[in-house]
Structure 1
Amino acid sequence: MTDLVALVTGASRGIGRACAEELGRQGYKVAIHYRGNEDLARQVAESIPGSKIFQADVAEEEQCKALIKSVKEEFGRIDVLVNNAGMSIDQVLTFAKPADFERLLDVNVKSVFNLSKLVSKVMIKQKKGSIINLTSVVGHTGNGGQSMYAATKGAITSFTKSIASDLAGFGIRANCVAPGFIETDMTNALPEEVKEAILKKVPLKRLGTGNEVAKTVHFLASDASSYVTGSTIHVNGGMFTN
């Protein structure tokens, strides 16, 4: 395991941080990507032996190229790519702004396209690799006020199914993990009545944790899932099971 390298985007906090730390516990060398908060990224790196931090705005193609090049130069290889970086801009359709939709497409979709394309070239030479894309339950169910965000997550799911077919012959697998409502700084700040409304939608009657998502990501990164590609694993407490 000490020779395996995982790049996790958006790894300075939340689900991304949980994924980076779980992969680190499992023996991976972790490339910790962040966009703006270097202090938080360094805190994550301190908890993962052998890890390094890398700054990039993954909405920009040239910065994606520089990120993959830097990680490859530092570690010599990339075995796992976890495309976690993303954002949400919520608004009902009538008042949604085209500029906001463009921004979501750049951050949520184009980054996944660019990084997956670039890392596939590295993995093809290695004849093995795992690409794991974080989507969302709302990419499958939709959600009022989140049409733009849901569209980007749905696009990632279709993209992942397609590249799984493209890359399978090279020993590269591609899958999605689709979280539901997960405990984060954002959900912790919600009013109690909002939390109660959320929990009514969840059969397990609780929010998930970042660590529960991270363990699913590790499964897809590892050889335990060696015959799994083009799939989506839902981590949502039973909200959506198809």
Structure 2
Amino acid sequence: MAKTILVTGGARGIGLAVTRRLAAAGHRVAVSYRADGEAARSVRAELRARGAEIEIFQSDLADPKDARALPGRVGERFGGLDVLVNNAGMTDDASFLMMERARYREVLGTNLFGTMLLTGAALPLLLKADAPAIVIVASLGGVVGKEGQVAYATSKGALIGFTQWLARKYSSAGIAVNAVAPGFIRTGMTADLEPKMVDHVVGGTALRRVGRAEEVAEAVHFLLAPGYMQATTLRIDGGFNR
């Protein structure tokens, strides 16, 4: 059965792969973007040409007003909301002892607090749906930490805790809540990394390769109807163990 799904940050990287996968499955997709309107309009045109029902929404999750308003905008356009995919995020890498407080606040404001505010605003709509679900895109960095990414890893680790709390709080209301934790995935965000860093990360995986955004999207699609899975974080990391 077709669902109405909001994918935050759904016009680029992993979010774009998720958008394409869900549209291909016949779902109605609402895509939020912060600044890259050209990319958002491009994916809308691409998927509408394939017969998908999709709309785009400009929203900055670091702005509390924007974060709270977005679910209502989606609900008004599509008549409700069945699934929320919290994917939007940012990174800002620096040494722990050298990173300015303002940079920490920006990362946490977008990745953690924006996601929490958005989710809270989406809950009244989700509680009206027949089989609602929330999928949070965390990160392997939030599980094992990552050199030079203390703010990012902290925000993603907190989202894993948020996932577990949501799942326990709203299980009785019928909302499925799970997360995915991608490892090193080939996206625009990772394309500029030095080969030595790529080799270091890939060398710590069992599969000895970089992941694909489509592989994360497949996991997100699976979690729309997770059955007995609840409060779980799926690691999509090629068997990373370092």
Q: Give the TM-score, by structure 2 length.
A: 0.94
Contact 2:87 / 2:137 at 8 angstroms: preserved in 1? yes
Aligned equivalents of 1:104, 1:190: Cα separation in 2: 20
Q: Which amino acid aligns with 1:28?
A: H
Q: Which amino acid aligns with 1:234?
A: R
Contact 2:205 / 2:240 at 8 angstroms: preserved in 1? yes
Q: 1:112 aligns with which of 112, 115, 126?
A: 115
Q: CA deviation at 1:207?
A: 0.5
Q: Which amino acid aligns with 2:35?
A: G
Q: CA deviation at 1:153?
A: 0.7
For 1:45-96, what per-residue CA distance to the aligned partner results, in whole angstroms no more than 9, with x for missing partners? 1232110000010111211222111100010111111101001111111101
Q: In structure 2, the residue corresponding to 1:233 is in which secondary structure?
A: strand
Aligned equivalents of 1:151, 1:96: Cα separation in 2: 14
Q: In structure 2, the residue corresponding to 1:175 is in which secondary structure?
A: strand
Alignment match, 1:40: 39
Aligned equivalents of 1:126, 1:31: Cα separation in 2: 16
Alignment match, 1:9: 8
Residues 1-242 of structure 1: matches in 2 within 5 Å? 1-2=1-2, 4-48=3-47, 49-221=52-224, 223=225, 225-240=226-241
Q: Percent identity?
A: 36
Q: In structure 2, the residue corresponding to 1:82 is in which secondary structure?
A: strand
Q: Which runs of 4+ in 1 moved over 6 A?
A: none
Contact 1:31 / 1:54 at 8 angstroms: preserved in 2? yes
Residue segments in structure 2 that go unaligned for 5+ positions in a row = none
For 1:91-131, what per-residue CA distance to the aligned partner results, in whole angstroms no more than 9, with x for missing partners? 11110111111111110001111111111111112253111
Aligned equivalents of 1:47, 1:167: Cα separation in 2: 36
Q: CA deviation at 1:185?
A: 2.0
Contact 2:67 / 2:115 at 8 angstroms: preserved in 1? no
Contact 2:93 / 2:149 at 8 angstroms: preserved in 1? yes
Q: CA deviation at 1:200?
A: 1.1
Aligned equivalents of 1:50, 1:116: Cα separation in 2: 23
Q: CA deviation at 1:237?
A: 0.2
Contact 1:137 / 1:240 at 8 angstroms: preserved in 2? no
Contact 1:127 / 1:170 at 8 angstroms: preserved in 2? no
Q: CA deviation at 1:191?
A: 3.2
Q: CA deviation at 1:240?
A: 4.7
Q: CA deviation at 1:148?
A: 1.4
Aligned equivalents of 2:126, 2:39: Cα separation in 1: 29
Q: Which amino acid aligns with 2:123?
A: S
Q: Which amino acid aligns with 1:115?
A: L
Contact 1:141 / 1:240 at 8 angstroms: preserved in 2? no
Aligned equivalents of 2:144, 2:57: Cα separation in 1: 34
Residue segments in structure 1 that go unaligned for 5+ positions in a row = none
Give the number of equivalent residue pairs. 238
Q: In structure 2, the residue corresponding to 1:204 is in which secondary structure?
A: coil
Contact 2:140 / 2:183 at 8 angstroms: preserved in 1? yes
Q: Give the TM-score, by structure 1 length.
A: 0.94
What's the C-alpha RMSD, in Å, of the aligned pairs? 1.4
More helix as a share of residues: 1
